[in-house]
């Protein structure tokens, strides 16, 4: 029978990093608070005991009323917890010890971890761990999970906790007394260079322009490195088809429709999507770099005043940033928002975040039609439109323009980025893509191939196929916004998953790799490509996002509202852009 332990602490204490060290899992970590939204669990061996360890969301108070605080309290009270691994930040002990006091009062066997000792040492903070443990009456170990320091000592503490799960004494100490007797720290805890950098990056006027300039530089770097790799993969896929797959299928024989399905359907679709994976991995490695450095929390702080005018706060902006990876965990992350009205409104605007699936589509069109110097500007414009659309929706849907709930954001210190974490971020996105490729993308390209080839007695891709007829039926709606029937079919399957859009396009046109890129460059004008990207950015969320929206909101009305708003705003915005561009082009 396994022991049931939980890992508990405030946000930004490095819980997820330590959880990954102990369990070997790959929970997302980053240098900003609130990343642990769902409960991650793992089975770990501690001495001779099997331990079921749950990483609970970071909280500030056991008596709070937010969704994450209710989840933690429910877990502690109802799940039969037999041990607590409480993680603190060594640089913020004065603020975190009151929560330790609350948890110790529960009488559950526990051990205290003082994490981030490497940062504490740099800031001149010293902790007398032995005296602190004696005064509190609980086992304690200082570590740095990020640098893998102190983990052997922690292992021994965990073995003792598993072998002798003794309830802690009722706390008779105060945080103030402990800090005075066991912790030495300078009068100003922040390093001088941190304050100097913040005076620039958090400037009331220059802060936001600097943020968007840094984003542009990041996009420029990603395209400069990723484009040659993407081109190489596209050429490689062509060689694989011409030198291996086509001759191999010819030798095997069989019906021509099977070869067509495998080559023009499955291979073309998956190869086209896969060729843009390097750009996506590089993008999220760059985002991981920005997160590790502690800059995204500052971006949320900069946006708080603007969000407040929309009836929201910086938490909503944090969730929008998380939505740039995937809308699904960002929707789940809204549990940290206490106000039901703010949470519903935030869930409504998150699907407008430019997620990684949309990024694949944009990377393809930008690489096909725009130069290496112009492409990053186009991508930055799409990100700006993503935020702008979300703000407009919030402005339209918010009945109360004032946010009554105070926004408290724990500003993390600047840190040197961890190469392991940066690589893990890129690998996680690649793993996410591969999982979806085995489900949505493969199914999507097969369905598109069927639509563009059925009935089988007509010319594939001709006007007599079901796909062409469907595209023609929607032509009166899509033609005014510059989207032709072939692109329309790809958009229809993008409702299942945005990753399917590229694969569908490859199947519809019967091309892949560089041949598809060249055909798109010939087939579309830049204004049409931008119109297509605008519509892809704003129109209906994918099925997974809508399912999560329904589960989190418990509101069918909100789901319908999300789809209707997305489709309506997508058509109107794209129409305005495309019709205006025709005036200037002509």
Each residue's pLDDT, cut to its tens digit, for the chain (586 residues) gives: 688 999 999 887 888 889 888 887 655 544 444 444 557 788 889 988 999 998 888 888 887 666 677 778 877 876 688 999 999 999 888 889 999 999 999 999 999 999 999 888 877 889 999 999 999 999 999 999 888 899 999 999 999 999 999 999 999 998 889 988 999 877 655 567 777 888 888 888 888 888 878 877 877 787 778 778 877 877 787 788 778 887 887 777 766 667 777 776 677 667 766 766 776 677 778 777 777 777 777 777 777 767 777 777 667 777 787 777 778 767 876 766 767 788 888 899 999 988 877 888 898 889 888 887 888 889 889 999 998 998 888 888 876 545 555 555 566 667 776 677 677 767 776 776 666 656 666 676 677 777 777 777 766 666 677 777 887 888 899 999 998 888 888 888 777 777 777 777 777 777 766 777 888 888 888 999 999 999 999 998 887 788 888 888 888 899 999 999 999 999 999 999 999 988 876 5
Q: Which domains does the chain have, with CATH numbers?
A: 3-184 (3.40.50.300), 207-585 (no CATH)
> What's the rounded Cα separation, in Å, for the pair 586 and 580?
10
Identify whether the C-beta of residue 114 lies closer than 8 Å to the C-beta of residue 142: yes
* DSSP 8-state class, residue 204: T
Q: Which residues contact 406 (CB under 8 A, 6 or more apart)?
A: none
Q: Give the residue from 291, 293, 287, 321 showing the smallest Cα distance to 307.
A: 321
What is the chain's length? 586
Identify whether the C-beta of residue 78 lies closer than 8 Å to the C-beta of residue 2: no
Residue that has been written with the tokens 């080559």 in this structure: 263
> What's the rounded Cα separation, in Å, for the pair 534 and 560?
21
Could you tell me whether strands 3-9 and 83-89 are parallel, antiparallel, or unpaired per DSSP bridges? parallel
CA angle 372, 422, 200 (to 5 degrees): 75
pTM (2 d.p.):
0.62
| Enclosing H/E stretch for 23 | helix 15-23
| Enclosing H/E stretch for 112 | strand 110-115
> What's the rounded Cα separation, in Å, for the pair 111 and 532?
55
């Amino acid at each position: 029978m396994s022991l049931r332990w939980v890992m508990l602490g405030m946000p930004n204490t490095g819980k997820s990093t330590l959880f990954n060290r102990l369990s070997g899992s790959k929970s997302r970590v980053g240098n900003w608070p609130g990343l642990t939204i769902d409960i991650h669990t793992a089975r770990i061996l501690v001495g001779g005991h099997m331990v079921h360890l749950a990483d609970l969301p970071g909280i500030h108070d056991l008596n709070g009323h937010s969704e994450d605080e209710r989840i933690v309290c429910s877990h502690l009270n109802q799940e039969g917890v037999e041990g607590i691994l409480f993680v603190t930040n060594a640089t913020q002990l004065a603020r975190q010890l009151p929560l330790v006091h609350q948890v110790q009062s529960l009488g559950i066997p526990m051990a205290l971890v003082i994490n981030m000792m490497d940062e504490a040492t740099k800031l001149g903070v010293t902790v007398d761990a032995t005296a602190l443990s004696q005064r509190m009456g609980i086992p304690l170990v200082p570590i740095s999970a990020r640098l893998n320091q102190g983990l052997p000592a922690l292992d021994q503490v965990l073995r003792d906790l598993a072998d002798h799960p003794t309830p802690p004494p009722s706390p008779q100490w105060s945080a103030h007394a402990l800090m005075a007797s066991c912790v030495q720290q300078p009068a100003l805890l922040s390093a001088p260079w941190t304050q100097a950098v913040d005076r620039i990056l958090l400037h009331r006027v220059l802060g936001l322009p600097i943020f968007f300039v840094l984003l542009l530089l990041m996009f420029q770097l990603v395209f400069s490195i990723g484009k040659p790799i993407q081109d190489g993969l596209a050429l490689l896929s062509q060689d694989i088809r011409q030198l291996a797959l086509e001759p191999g299928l010819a030798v095997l024989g069989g019906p021509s429709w099977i070869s067509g399905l495998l080559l023009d359907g499955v291979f073309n679709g998956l190869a086209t999507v896969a060729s843009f994976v390097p750009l996506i991995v590089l993008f999220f490695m760059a985002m991981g770099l920005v997160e590790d450095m502690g800059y995204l929390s500052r971006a949320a702080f900069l946006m708080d005043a603007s969000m407040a005018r929309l009836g929201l706060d910086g938490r909503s902006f944090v969730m929008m940033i998380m939505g740039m990876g995937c809308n699904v965990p960002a929707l789940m992350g809204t549990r940290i928002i206490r106000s039901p009205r703010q949470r519903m409104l935030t869930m409504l605007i998150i699907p407008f975040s430019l997620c990684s699936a949309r990024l694949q589509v944009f990377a393809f069109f930008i690489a096909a039609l725009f130069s290496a110097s112009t492409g990053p500007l186009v991508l930055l414009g799409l990100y700006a439109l993503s935020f702008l659309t979300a703000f407009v929706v919030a402005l339209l849907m918010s009945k109360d323009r004032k946010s009554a709930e105070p926004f408290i954001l724990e500003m993390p210190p600047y840190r040197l980025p961890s190469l392991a974490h940066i690589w893990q971020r890129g690998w996680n996105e690649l793993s996410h893509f591969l999982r979806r490729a085995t489900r949505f993308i493969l199914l999507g390209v097969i369905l598109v191939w069927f639509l563009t080839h059925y009935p089988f007695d007509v010319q594939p891709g001709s006007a007599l196929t079901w796909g062409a007829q469907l595209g023609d039926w929607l032509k009166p709606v899509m033609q005014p916004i510059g989207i032709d029937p072939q692109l329309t079919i790809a958009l229809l399957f993008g409702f299942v998953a945005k990753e399917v859009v590229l694969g569908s396009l490859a199947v519809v046109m019967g091309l892949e790799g560089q041949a598809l890129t060249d055909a798109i460059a010939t087939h579309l004008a830049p204004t049409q490509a931008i119109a297509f990207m605008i519509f892809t950015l704003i129109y209906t969320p994918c099925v997974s996002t809508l399912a999560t929206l329904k589960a989190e909101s418990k509101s069918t009305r909100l789901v319908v509202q999300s789809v209707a708003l997305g489709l309506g705003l997508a058509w109107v915005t794209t129409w305005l852009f495309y019709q205006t561009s025709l005036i200037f082009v002509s």
